[in-house]
């Protein structure tokens, strides 16, 4: 169960525990949290919704892609759904590798791919309204390759 959709708050350590290996010298984690301000607008809370069975498959696919690209990597990803408040954790990605450079690069790859291919959507709630947020990459809808340089600057 290295790839999962959670309805309850994510315990970071539990995700990390899944990738501990004797051959790994480095573990990186990415923790995506709900930010109060986006483009100057104040978020009250978010709702995340997932096509759960497909989302798990796509997270598994991302893990497989990483293991093909980075030798000795292990990966675990948990994404939360439901209502999230400011500073709540939306996603945790843990990657372990023998050498540290790979752990950073593979982890970065995972979050970019999540934003491309994993069927999860967020609805932002502000004081004056609410809206389902579309593709945050603001590029073509589903690039199939690696993220473009411009996507990496968000």
Partner 1 sequence: MNKVLFFAHLKDAVGEEVIELDTNGKSVVEIKELMKEKYPALNLENVMAAINEEFASDEDILQAGDTIAFIPPVSGG
CA of 52: how far to CAs of 93, 99, 102, in Å? Answer: 17, 33, 29
At 27, phi and psi to the nearest 5?
-125, 130
34 binds a copy of itself (CB under 8 A): yes
**For a copy of itself, the closer CB: 42 or 57:** 42
**For partner 1, the closer CB: 50 or 106:** 50
Residues found near partner 1 in the complex (CB under 8 A): 32, 48-51, 53-55, 57, 79, 90-91, 111, 114-123, 132-136, 141-142
**For partner 1, the closer CB: 23 or 142:** 142
Rounded CA gap, 116 and 139, in Å? 10
Contact call for residues 77 and 1 (beta carbons, < 8 A):
no
Contact call for residues 96 and 29 (beta carbons, < 8 A):
no
Residues that bind a copy of itself (CB under 8 A): 12-13, 16, 20-38, 86-87, 96, 98-101, 103-104, 107-108, 111, 152-154
């Amino acid at each position: 169960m290295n790839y999962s959709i959670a309805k309850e708050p994510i315990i970071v350590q539990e995700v990390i525990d899944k990738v501990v290996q004797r051959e790994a010298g480095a573990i990186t984690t990415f923790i995506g949290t709900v930010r109060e301000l986006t483009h100057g607008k104040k978020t009250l809370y978010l709702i995340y919704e997932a096509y759960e069975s497909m989302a798990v498959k796509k997270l598994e696919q991302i893990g497989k892609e990483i293991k093909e690209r980075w030798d000795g990597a292990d990966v675990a990803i948990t994404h939360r759904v439901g209502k999230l408040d400011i500073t709540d954790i939306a996603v945790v990605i843990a990657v372990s590798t023998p050498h540290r450079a790979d752990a950073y690069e593979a982890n970065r790859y995972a979050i970019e791919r999540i934003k491309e291919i994993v069927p999860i959507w967020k609805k932002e709630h502000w004081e004056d309204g609410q809206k389902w947020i579309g593709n945050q990459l603001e590029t073509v809808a589903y690039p199939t390759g690696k993220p473009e340089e411009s996507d990496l600057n968000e």
